[in-house]
């Protein structure tokens, strides 16, 4: 499908940079799903969202939402090329018409950019080759991202396409934070180090926190707790990531839906000795069978909380483990920052669970945080949940990774 090239028009300024007028089509392609959103980069207004699921499986499912109305389409979607045909068909049938909406760019979310990509880049053949070389660093995520890019380049050949990396925001971490104490040859030959993830979310939320505090971003120190199916904590000093809980892969740090977070590095060798476990088995268990799922039989935090409230012991322990790990990382990152202005909760759990937020903040009194229990219970959208007397502010800030990707794409082009 042919699209108009980057639209003209006067750039407007928002969120600290020059931003082109016109929307950006944001694409988040996974191995079996494709999420998209047509976002107005200057205002964040969402013109349409969509989710195409079960790519490559039987019974593909596509949802397209415009002006609050969801349009569902069921049909086989054998590969990413078919998924993009469905995307184009959904826009054509239900709007907005892509020709007249005239997106200025396509912004692709890419999970791992290694040490090669410290910022958003315009995608060309060289970038694609590098992305393919980075696949071993994120074998579950990058192949789907790349498949999405390849098809998008064919489908929309006239639009500039950019890659926005989950890792890029963390490339400001100092060597002391990202270096693992492992043999030099591993570090030199295989780029073994901490990279960090959820960068677009941490960048967006930390900027919103500075706005909410009415302080310059450069003078604001925040710990962002991105708590969704995947979870990570990030120390943001003056708008720059200086440390984060995830490392080489998205497995480390906090307890997640199906991932364990921090473990003793001796575990794989031990399980190989006592259970004859192979590395692929271990890898699968750590990616798909650990975290809340292992502790409480369900990867969904809301379900775990319902069971906990009904007196389920395993769910109670799961909650306690999640909170303990969070408190430990929060304390560590606060010390890394040296001075803390705010703590921000975001993503599915962070935005929606006052119980979890209260459990963490009640144990963070040492940092100078005083919870405003009423504000916490009633929080909707961006909300301050610490008292006026609290030395460190606490906020709920709904993340908006799509807008951040649109902003990144748009800024790169202006």
Which residue, 50 or 228, is less far from ligand AMP as judged by CB?
228
Name 399's bridge partners: none
Sheet holding 221-227, edge to edge: 240-244, 231-237, 221-227, 342-346, 393-396, 383-384
The torsion of the CA quartet 365, 366, 368, 374, rounded to 10 degrees, works out to -10
Shortest CB 153 distance to ligand AMP, Å = 28
* Residues binding ligand AMP (CB under 6 A): 228-229, 257, 300-302, 305, 347-349, 352-353
Nearer to ligand AMP, 318 or 407 (CB): 318
Query: In angstroms, rounded to a whole number, what is the distance separating the alpha carbons of residues 385 and 346?
Result: 13
Closest CB 82 distance from ligand AMP, rounded Å? 25
List 14, 158, 166, 211, catalytic entry: 166
- The Cα 158–Cα 146 span in angstroms is 18
Instruction: CB nearer to ligand AMP: give 21 or 346.
Output: 346
Answer yes or no: are the C-beta atoms of 153 and 27 closer than 8 Å: no
Q: Assess whether 76 carries a catalytic annotation.
A: no
Choose among 183, 162, 177, 66: nearest CA to 117.
162
Residue at shortest CB range from ligand AMP:
348
Number of Cβ within 10 Å of residue 314's Cβ equals: 15
DSSP 218: G
Nearest to ligand AMP of 270, 302 (CB atom): 302
Do you know the residue count of the chain? 414
C-beta of 301 vs 395, nearer to ligand AMP: 301
The whole-angstrom separation of Cα 148 and Cα 375 is 41
CA 414 – CA 411 distance, rounded (Å): 5
Beta strands, E only, 67-150: 69-74, 105-110, 121-122
Question: Residue 13 is encoded by which pair of tokens?
Answer: 């300024």
Cα(118)–Cα(177) distance, rounded to whole angstroms?
A: 16
In the complex with ligand AMP, the residue whose CB is nearer, 27 or 227, is 227
Nearest distance from residue 288's CB to ligand AMP, in Å? 15
Instruction: Please report how close the Cβ of residue 284 comes to ligand AMP at its closest, in angstroms.
Output: 20
- The CB-of-315 to ligand AMP minimum distance in angstroms stands at 12
Minimum distance of ligand AMP from residue 302's CB (angstroms): 4
Asked whether 53 and 101 are in contact (CB, 8 A), the reply is: no
What is the number of helices (H) and of strands (E) in the chain? 16, 16
Active site residue ranges: 166
């Amino acid at each position: 499908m042919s699209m108009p090239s980057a639209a003209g028009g006067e750039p407007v300024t928002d969120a600290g940079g020059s931003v082109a007028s016109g929307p950006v089509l944001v694409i988040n392609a996974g191995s079996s799903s494709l999420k998209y959103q047509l976002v107005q980069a200057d205002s964040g207004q969402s013109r349409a969202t969509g989710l195409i699921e079960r790519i490559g499986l039987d019974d593909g499912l596509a949802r397209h939402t415009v002006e609050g109305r969801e349009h569902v389409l069921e049909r086989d979607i054998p590969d990413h090329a078919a998924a993009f045909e469905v995307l184009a068909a959904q826009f054509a049938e239900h709007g907005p018409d892509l020709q007249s909406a005239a997106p200025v760019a396509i912004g692709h979310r890419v999970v791992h950019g290694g040490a090669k990509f410290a910022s958003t880049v315009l995608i060309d053949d060289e970038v694609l080759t590098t992305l393919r070389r980075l696949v071993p660093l994120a074998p579950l995520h990058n192949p789907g991202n790349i498949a999405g890019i390849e098809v998008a380049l064919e489908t929309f050949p006239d639009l500039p396409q950019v890659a926005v990396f989950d890792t890029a925001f963390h490339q400001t971490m100092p060597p002391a934070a990202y270096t693992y104490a492992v043999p030099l040859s591993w570090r030199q030959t295989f780029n073994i180090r901490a990279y960090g993830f959820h960068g677009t979310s941490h960048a967006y939320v930390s900027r919103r926190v500075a706005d909410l505090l009415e302080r310059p971003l450069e003078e604001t120190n925040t710990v962002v707790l991105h708590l969704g199916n995947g979870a990570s904590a990030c120390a943001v000093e003056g708008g720059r990531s200086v440390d984060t809980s995830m490392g080489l892969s998205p497995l480390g740090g906090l307890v997640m839906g199906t991932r364990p977070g921090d473990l003793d590095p001796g575990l794989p060798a031990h399980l190989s000795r006592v259970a004859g476990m192979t590395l692929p088995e271990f890898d699968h268990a750590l990616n798909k069978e650990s975290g809340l799922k292992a502790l409480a039989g369900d990867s969904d935090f809301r379900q775990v909380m319902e069971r906990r409230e009904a007196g389920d012991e395993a769910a109670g322990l799961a909650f306690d483990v999640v909170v303990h790990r969070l408190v430990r990382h929060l304390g560590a990152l606060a010390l890394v920052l040296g001075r803390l202005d705010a703590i921000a909760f975001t993503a599915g759990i962070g935005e929606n669970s006052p119980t979890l937020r209260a459990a963490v903040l009640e144990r963070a009194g040492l940092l100078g945080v005083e919870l405003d229990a009423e504000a916490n219970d009633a929080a909707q959208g961006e909300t301050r949940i610490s008292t006026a007397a609290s030395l460190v502010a606490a906020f709920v800030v709904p993340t908006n990774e799509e807008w951040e990707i649109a902003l990144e794409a748009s800024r790169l082009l202006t």
